[in-house]
């Protein structure tokens, strides 16, 4: 069976290529074609002979994504892709332009098992894991298509990254490999709904990345209503893991909190949240909940958001409202794929 070259890290590629009888210096060349120059075919590897290229093609393939839909925001140049995977499934990625460069938000699974009530990605359930090569291809394809260098990565698209732990870890190590894209760990954010044992595993890696926690509630009563994961790992276990993570790695945790009108946006919720996060190296990111067609949740008012922030700040917790990009193209993940599935 053919193997995906894009899913191999340097050591694996090295073993495979040397086993084929290639001299060692060829490994660096091939790794660079695959992960630095992001080519999609063996024919583009112009410093290899025709024979070598055909030998590679006998043993390997390179994962390719096709662009099914590409939407460009007229407001802020945000680009949203609906990619087709080799087996015909769809994934979404969003490229955002910031002052500091380009950032991409990628999916880590096809669908999601987590079932959060407010989330478009949960609709239709889980289909399958994304491979290392497929996740990298979201980045490489967007980069090639837009002819840009993407230097920030956000694992906040469809799927739960810590539920595809091994592939996500390998992908993170590959994208930050200095022989490949050489992306700084400091430029990577990973968002989780709170799979507690994997948070401890991730802490052990001591990566410089930013861990984001989708908290969305200050207590178990509210959190369990919209996030089923809270029944497996409750808020106290989760926050204990977060405290451990930030102390062990020295990295600030980012808490995502989608403000939902009359659900989690009261003054009491803010007070309870401030109390739970007291003393932790953290930041709260308020997100005005996106009105997903399939749910009845409504955004909190701007006044509510401001009051919430005031209460948190007065108790020493820094909080900001996340900027919305690409609002004219439904740029939040899951929405495009969900609309495809409904057709």
**Would you tell me which residues interact with ligand SAH (CB under 6 A)?**
114, 116, 118-119, 156, 160, 191-193, 214, 216, 256, 258, 287, 289-290, 292
State the minimum distance, in angstroms, from the CB of residue 156 to ligand SAH.
Answer: 4
State the minimum distance, in angstroms, from the CB of residue 119 to ligand SAH.
Answer: 4
Here the tokens at position 339 are 């609309």
CB 136 within 8 A of CB 85: no
Report how far residue 107's alpha carbon sits from residue 121's, in angstroms, rounded to the nearest whole number: 10
Gyration radius of the chain over CA positions: 21
CB 194 within 8 A of CB 114: no
State the minimum distance, in angstroms, from the CB of residue 46 to ligand SAH.
Answer: 39
Q: Which is nearer to ligand SAH, 33 or 118 (CB)?
A: 118
Q: Which is nearer to ligand SAH, 95 or 193 (CB)?
A: 193
- Number of continuous H segments (helices) and E segments (strands) in the chain: 12, 14
Q: Which is nearer to ligand SAH, 48 or 289 (CB)?
A: 289
Report how far residue 122's alpha carbon sits from residue 119's, in angstroms, rounded to the nearest whole number: 6
Catalytic-labelled residue, pool 92, 138, 160, 256 = 92
State the minimum distance, in angstroms, from the CB of residue 310 to ligand SAH.
Answer: 21
Q: Is 333 a catalytic residue?
A: yes
Q: Which is nearer to ligand SAH, 14 or 129 (CB)?
A: 129
Q: Is 92 a catalytic residue?
A: yes
- The single-letter DSSP state of residue 36 is I
CB neighbours of residue 202 within 10 Å? 24
Pairing of strands 253-259, 210-214: parallel
Name the residues annotated as catalytic.
Answer: 92, 333
């Amino acid at each position: 069976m053919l193997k995906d070259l894009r899913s191999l890290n340097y050591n694996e590629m090295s073993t495979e290529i040397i086993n084929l009888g290639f001299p060692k210096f060829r490994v660096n060349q091939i790794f660079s074609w695959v992960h630095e120059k992001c080519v999609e075919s063996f024919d583009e590897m112009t410093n290899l002979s025709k024979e070598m290229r055909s030998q590679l093609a006998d043993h390997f393939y390179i994962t390719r994504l096709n662009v099914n839909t590409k939407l460009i925001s007229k407001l802020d140049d945000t680009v949203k892709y609906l990619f087709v995977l080799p087996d015909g499934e769809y994934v979404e990625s969003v490229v955002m332009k910031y002052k500091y460069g380009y950032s991409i938000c990628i999916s880590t699974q096809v669908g999601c098992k987590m079932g959060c009530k407010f989330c478009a990605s949960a609709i239709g359930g889980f289909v399958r894991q994304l491979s290392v090569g497929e996740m990298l291809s979201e980045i490489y394809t967007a980069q090639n298509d837009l002819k840009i260098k993407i230097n920030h990565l956000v694992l906040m698209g469809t799927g739960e990254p810590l539920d595809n732990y091994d592939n996500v870890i390998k992908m993170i190590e590959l994208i930050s490999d200095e022989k490949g894209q050489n992306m700084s760990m400091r430029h990577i954010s990973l968002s989780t709904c709170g799979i507690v044992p994997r948070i401890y595993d991730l802490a052990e890696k001591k990566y410089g990345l930013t861990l984001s926690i989708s908290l969305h509630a200050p207590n178990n009563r509210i959190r369990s209503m919209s996030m089923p994961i809270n029944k497996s790992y409750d808020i106290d276990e989760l926050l204990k893991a977060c405290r451990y993570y930030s102390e062990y790695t020295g990295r600030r945790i980012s808490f995502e909190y989608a403000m939902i009108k009359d659900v989690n946006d009261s003054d009491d919720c803010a007070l309870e949240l401030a109390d739970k996060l007291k003393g932790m190296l953290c930041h709260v990111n308020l997100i005005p909940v996106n009105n997903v067609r399939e749910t009845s949740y409504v955004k909190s008012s701007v006044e509510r958001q401001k009051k919430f922030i005031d209460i948190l700040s007065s108790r020493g917790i820094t909080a900001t409202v996340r900027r919305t990009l690409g609002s004219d193209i439904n740029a939040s993940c899951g929405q495009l794929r969900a609309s495809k599935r409904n057709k």
